[in-house]
Every structure is written in C-alpha cells, then in structure tokens.
Chain A
Amino acid sequence: MTIRRAAVELADLLNTPDFDDVTEHHRMSHSHVVRDVAFVTDIEDISNVGPGTIVVLDESAAHGGWLLSGALRYAWERHAAALIVPDDALAISVLELAKRLDVNFLSSPRAMSRMVLDIAIGIGRLQAATESRIITLRQRIEDAPDIVTAVGLISRELGGCLVQANSSGTLIASAGKPPPASQSARVTSSPRPFESPVELVALVPNQQLEFAHNALNAAVPTARIMLLTDELEAIQKALPLLSMVTLTGLGFARSMQPDTDRFADAMHIPSHKPHVAVCLLVADSSHDVALFSSPVYHVWRRAFKGSPLSRMDGGWITFLSVDAVGTATSDAIAHTLTERVVEPLRAIGVAVGISTIGNDERIASDLAGEAWLAAKVARPNAAATFDRISQPLLSRLIPRELAQRLVGVYFPRLQADSQFNELARCAVAYLDCVGSVSATATRLGLHRNTVQARLRRITELGVNLTEPDSSLTQHLILTAATRCDGV
C-alpha cells in the first residue's frame, strides 16, 4: 500500500509532538525530503518503493534480524527517506548496518499500521503549509514593480539566502548572501522561440532545498514576464531611432519611414551637446540576436537608463550623451562602456563600437556609421572607438567565410595546398615585416631557412608577394582568411 504525498522535510515531520515516541537510531548525515509513505508487509515490496519514501515495516515483515538487514539494504538502494520498524525488532547488528549504509533508521512502540496513517496525515499537513507559503510568495512577487524587487522578496522568504536571476548567462538581479554549506536550487523558464529563457538560482542550506525549488518554480513565470516587459518598453522608446537608423544607409530596418524633424527629441540628445553613437553587435553572427534581447536591454537600462537601445540587424544601436557617460574622451567612454555593458554581457560575447564625439544631430547618420564600423572591427567582449581603428583591424571587416572564398578565387593553388595555413601566416608576416626574411623568421619563431622555403613554395603556388599593387589586397584577404574565431 503506497500513499502518494508531495515532498516535505523529514526533520519537519519528525519534530512534531505526533512523533514523540519515535526513537532515532541513526539520522542521515544530510537532510532528506519525504515524498511518500509505504507500509511494507512483505520484505520484497521495499524493492518497489520510490526515492524519498518513508518505509514503515509491519511487525510480520520485521521478525528477524536478517529481514531488517535486507530492509535497510533495500531502503539504501531505493534512496528511501527513512525506515521505521517496531521497537521489539531491533538488534545491535542492524543499528551498525544503518550507520554504515547511512539510512535514517527509526523505531517506535506504536502499532505500525497506526504509524503509517499518522505519517500520511503529517505529510499532508506540512504540504498544505508549504503550499500556502508558496502561494503568498507568488502573489507578492506579482505585485513587485521590477525583477530586482522580486528577487529580493524571494531571498527574504528564503531567510536572506543568495538568489539570482540570469538570462543568457547574464546576471540580471541578485539579492542576499550564500549561507555556509549551501546547495543550489535552479529553475529555468520554458524555452520559447526567439526568447532567452530566465533562470532563477538560489543558494540555500540543504534542508531548504526543496522549498527553495518550489519557491523559484512559483516565481519564474513572473520573472519572465518582467523581463519581457522591460524589453517591450525599451523597444517602444526606441521606435523613432529605428527610423533614424534607416537614414544612415547601413541597411537597418529599411521598412521604417524617417521623420527627420523629430529625431533630436526622439534621440534624447540635447541640441548642441556632445554625444556619441554606440553600436552593440553579437560577436557570433550565427546566433539570433532576439535570443539575447532581454539581458542586453536589462543591462543597458541599468547602465544608461535615459538612452534607449534600438534593435538592428545583428545587434543594437543608440546615441549616448557624453554627460550621461560622465567623461569627455572617446577612450574614457570606451572604458566606461566596457565596465558597465561589455563585462556584464560577457556570457553573450558582445562587441561594442563607439563613434567620434559630435554635437550636431544633423550628422547623426555619420556617427551611426562610424559606431557600426568600429563594432565590426572590435573583438568580442571589447569596445573599440572609430578614431582608433588601425589598418590591421580593417581586415576584420571582411568576414572569414568571405575571405576564404576570395582566397579560392585569387589564390586557388595556395588554398589547395595541404600546408595552406602555415603558408598564409608566413605570407602575412612577410608582408607585415616589409619583405624582411629575418624579421619574419623572428616573428614566427622559425628558422630563416624554413621561412625562405615557405616563401619559395608560396611563389611556386602563384602568389607574388613582391608586387606593391597587390600586397594590400593579399594582406587583407589572407589575414581575414586565417583569423581564428573569437580573436
């Protein structure tokens, strides 16, 4: 006979007056949740109990030390919450086995048929109390103004334990402190198309784990809605900017019609005050940008609330008042953006581009173009300013896949060679070193003879590195083609 009940803590159940006559012969080294209670009248029935079950052994099934030994073994194998036997059935050897297997082992003078009913009632009472707490918490979270407040409420319910909300690996909100010897409860919202799932994590003492899991489960739908609401608000505020982006000619949101007279107001840029355009691109272009919207909008709002982000192909763009950044040089702006935006979004891998500083809204489209170019050449998880773009960085404007196709067109025999990567890197280093074999050897860590042999091979494969007219093209294409992802 098995009575199905939801999970409660074994300690909570036993620490009630109803179980004063229960003697604990061995308590497990860690806490254990109780999900079921099973009344076992035949020893073999224990092999069918589920994890978290309190096994109550009937007097007839506990008659003999070997039966208790077998019951303990089954209880251990089935991850039972506890084994309860009649007081009369105890033997010293069995107590030692309970310690060795680390199984909660209890006995009572009460009739076991009565015991199983009392446990079932106790589990039901505790479960009702737990559900009541969860419902109250869910209502409070639904009334919270934002996700930061909601996370704080959960932490308070869990006694000040650390609770975090994450999206796409980015920390959105955090409250509380991790208790010593804690375990993590982790709940993630159901994944939906074009939406980054929200993950709630709580670090709690082991005995609170089950309740924390339930609390997070109750909170995660509201947390997801809060993040989506943030994203929607940001998109609404940024709509006029989308139209402006169309003006830049960079191909973003071409369906939008520009309304140039209202740009200055929509952009929140005080007239004749210095500002920069900022472009955020997801470094791995194979990912759908929409998946990262929630964390990006959230982090941006936290850093620069008055400057809404606007979605575009592959990323986001905005205009940022220099006053809002609190610094006047493009390098300092890049540093601030790295600190407040790039680092929190490290899990996503965002490249940030910053234009030169302007103070006339009529050149906004030029600034947007600069920011986009700077973002294209920036490394993932870094910010680059337009006025710092160097010639070597320009090769990053050519996507590696395109560069590899161009190599196939211009240098087919080189590409077909099995040593293509070594030869291409040698060619790039040779061009960097303005034709010096010694400098090339030093840069690549090779012997001069090896470099000369590779250069001879490159020439045999139809690539002439000594023609000034073609050296820039060769350099750009080969650099882009041999570039590693993420570098």
Chain B
Amino acid sequence: MELTLEDVENLATGALFVSCSVDHESCFNFHDRILSMLTSTDKVARLVNFEDMDPDDLVVVIGFVNKGLPLTELVPVGDEFTTGISLLEQELGTRISAVVPLAAGNVNALVPVLVGLQTGLPTIDSDPMGRVFPLLSQSTLNLAGLSPGPFAVVGATGDSGVIRVTDSLRADHIIRAMAAEFGGWVATVSYPTSAARIQDALIHGTLSQLIRIGKILNSQMSTTDKYSSLSRQFGVRRLTRACVVDVEGLSRPFPRNQPDHPTSATLVDNVQGHIVRLEIQNEILLVMIDGAVEAVVPDIVTILRTEDAGVASLEDLWIGNEVDILTMPAAALWYTPEGLRLAGPDSHRLHGARRRKR
C-alpha cells in the first residue's frame, strides 16, 4: 500500500491521539518532512504486511528514545536513522529489508515512513507496543524473549555507536544513559531479526489503525459523530468532559528509570461535579473519577478539545481549560498477567490502581 498525502495527515493525527504527551511539535515536524518529500520527489512511502516479506528478510525496529529533552528542543538533522541503518548493516554484514516503528504513537509512528522515503525501505504495518510506553523494554519483543542487540544509536551531534547487548532492560539503561550524554535523545535501530521470527512478536495493523482513527478525527463530522465512530470501530469510551482546576508536580514517588517526572492534574466535571484526577508520566497513566479508577495503564488515555474533537496535548491541561477525556483499550496482550507485569500499573508505581469491572 502506497501512502497518500491524506494518509500521512491521518497517520499523524492518529499517532497523537493514542499518545497524549507534551510534545506534539516533533510529530508535526516529521509530518512536514514526509509531505515535503512526497510532493517534491517521485519517491513513494510503502506500508507492507509480513505476507509481502521473505521469511529471511532482515527487519529492524527504529525510533527515538529520549532522556528528558523533547525533539523540538534539539531538532534532528534528518540522517540519524540512515546512519544507524548503515552502521548496523556493516556490523551484521547483511542488508536490511524493512523497518518497524518502535511504537505506534507520536513521532515514532512517522519515523519509519520518513526513513522509508529516504532509503526506499518499506514500513511494516506492525509495532511492538500498540501504543507508547516510556521504556524500550516495555515491548512485545521483550515478552517474546527477542534480543534487542546489536543495536545502533545515533545522537543529535553525529555521535554514534553499535552496542552488543542481549537483555532488554540492560539495553534500556544503556540507551537512556547514552541519550543523556548525546544531548537528550538518540535515534535507535534495534532488534535486527528475520521477518519470520519477529512476525509473531509484534502487534499487527497498528499503523493502518492510526490512519483510520486520524481519518475520523480529521473528517467534517460533528464531535458527537466522531465519538460515536471511534466508539463503534475502536472501543473508544468518553469518560468525562471536565475543566482543569489544579496541576501538581511530583505527585508521587519517582519510578526508577522513567524519563519524566510524575505529575497530576485535577479537573471538575461542570455538569455533575465529579472530581477527576489524572496521573501523568510521559502519558496519562491513570484516570480517577471521584476516587474510583476509570482507566489505568495499559489502557490508552487521551484528551481532545471539546469544540472540534481535535487532539490536545498535555500542555492543554492549563487551569480553566475544558477537555474531553477518552480511553481506548490497548492490545489484548497487555492485559495478560505477563503483559500487566511488564507494563501494568505496578510497573509505574501505581500499586493498587485497578479498574472496576464493567
């Protein structure tokens, strides 16, 4: 499938919808670069499935990993991933055949599309998170026991390297340390694995799902109709419409290795007076309404603008602003005992936060 300009537009919107974070700018930046290449060159962005791949093809996972600094503060030059791919090909002595996004959300959902345009490599319509988690190790590839290394890292100033490591958690620590040293983020090319082997360890159809979500949100439908369509097609549930009344930093103990500080926001539902509490760390991890847990990681939680169902960022949580809070179920794998152990509430130091059964 060749991505059109409209597909890229919708992909960017869907990527922001499933990863409500502070930094939307970098997503827009990559979106603009892709559109520029699509309109000014005859190159095409290809989205493929594993059926289109040879089982022996070498596939890599690509994406940014940061350590406290958003990409907008130190804008990527644009050759970071092509450099990383070359480094890894030299290390392995094999050509890479396709790329997989590190996470189907935010800027990392767009990275493989741009890299595909730069290198001619197709992007596989799958990812190892089905959303965005803060840690590299919180992936289905780790659950499947695949080795992340050897992997290539490239920094904003051209620093690069190849790391030979097999443990996901160890890889997380090293990459995070290098990100801090390289200037705040690194471009990673990891999990070099054959198509046959990596296929069973990924969540499939995630990028095309983002395109469908973006298509609904970018349509001319009314806000109510957009919510209805999202609910019917993706199980999205609007939890409440509420006004921000308080934002507090360091609202709970700092989880180990997490890139950002815990924060919480308190909102009040102006109609029924419900008190809504959001616990945030990179993403919105927990939603409580009147003290009852309504959504908790691995549930996907996002906020939209009330007037047009436009995707809002965490910066929209300013006191007095009214937003819609929505939740969407994550991939089924994350609700298994193994999935919850790796990326559930306890891994974010939200011990005891359990959603009520409906």
- List residues of chain A with CB within 8 A of the CB of B288: 66, 69-70, 73
Q: Max chain A CB contacts within 10 Å: which of B248, B274, B292? A: B292
From A66, A70, A73, A76, contact of B264 by CB (8 A): A66
Known: A91-B248, A92-B246, A96-B275. A66 touches B290 (CB 8 A): no
Contact A72-B291, Cβ < 8 Å, known A42-B352, A66-B279, A66-B286: yes
* CB contact list, B315-336 vs A, under 8 A: none
Q: Are A65 and B352 in contact (CB under 8 A)?
A: no
Considering the chains assembled together, what is the distance between the CA atoms of A187 and B349 in angstroms? 50
**Closest residue of B by beta carbon distance from A99:** B275
- Verify if A97 is at the interface (C-beta below 8 Å from B): yes
User: Which residues of chain B come closer than 8 Å to A66, judged between CB atoms?
Assistant: 251-252, 264, 277, 279, 286, 288, 350, 353
B262: nearest chain-A partner, CB-CB: A64
Per a CB cutoff under 8 Å, which of A71, A76, A93 touches B277? A93
Is A413 interfacial (CB 8 A cutoff)? no
Contact (A101, B291) CB under 8 Å given A66-B252, A67-B252, A91-B248: yes
| B275 lies within 8 A of A70 (CB) | no
Give the tally of cross-chain contacts (CB within 8 A). Answer: 71
The answer to whether A65 touches B252 (Cβ under 8 A) is: yes
| B126-175, CB < 8 A from A | none
Q: With an 8 A cutoff between CB atoms, is B10 at the interface?
A: no
- Which of A44, A64, A96, A97 has most chain B Cβ within 10 Å? A64
Residues of A within 8 A of B268 (CB): 96
Contact check, A73 vs B290: say whether CB atoms are below 8 A apart.
Answer: yes
Residue on B nearest A93 in the bound complex, by CB: B266
B252 adjacent to A100 (CB under 8 Å): no
Nearest B residue to A74 via CB reads B291
Q: Which residues of B contact A93 (CB under 8 A)?
A: 245-246, 248, 264, 266, 275, 277
Nearest chain B CB to A28 CB, angstrom units: 16
| In the complex, chain B residues whose CB is within 8 Å of the CB of A63 | 252-253
Closest Cβ of chain B to A67, distance in Å, is 7
Given A42-B352, A70-B352, A100-B273, A64 contacting B291 (CB threshold 8 A): no
| Closest partner residue, chain B, to A70 (CB atom) | B291
Nearest-neighbor residue (CB-CB) of A69 within chain B: B291
The reply on B351 being an interface residue by CB < 8 A is yes
Establish whether residues A65 and B248, one from each chain, have CB atoms under 8 Å apart when the complex forms: yes
Q: Which residues of B contact A101 (CB under 8 A)?
A: 290-291
B290 A64 Cβ-Cβ under 8 A: no
Q: Which residues of A contact B354 (CB under 8 A)?
A: 44
Chain A residues, CB < 8 A from B351? 42-43
Any A CB within 8 A of the CB of B37: no
Q: Kindly state the separation between the CA atoms of A66 and B293 in the bound complex, as whole angstroms.
A: 9
Complex Cα spacing A91 to B248, Å:
9
- Tell me which residues across on chain A come within 8 A of B274, comparing CB atoms: 100
- Residues from chain B with a CB closer than 8 A to the CB of A67 are 252, 352
Residues from chain B with Cβ under 8 Å of A71 in the complex: 291
| Nearest chain B CB to A60 CB, angstrom units | 10
Chain A residues 95-126 with CB under 8 Å of chain B are: 96-97, 100-101
CB distance from B352 to the nearest CB of A (A): 4
Question: Can you list, as one digit per residue, whether each of B260-293 has a CB less than 8 Å from chain A (1) or not (0)?
Answer: 0010101010000111010100000010101111
Separation of A76 and B289 alpha carbons in the complex (Å) = 13
CB-nearest residue of chain B to A68: B291
* Chain A neighbourhood of B248, CB < 8 A: 65, 91, 93
- Closest Cβ of chain B to A303, distance in Å, is 58
A64 vs B345: C-alpha distance when bound (angstroms): 14
Enumerate 15 A-B pairs (CB-CB under 8 Å) in ascending A order.
A43-B351, A44-B354, A63-B253, A65-B251, A65-B266, A66-B251, A66-B264, A66-B279, A70-B352, A74-B291, A93-B275, A96-B268, A97-B290, A100-B275, A101-B291
Known: A70-B353, A73-B288. 7 other contacts (CB 8 A): A63-B253, A64-B251, A65-B251, A65-B252, A66-B252, A92-B246, A93-B245
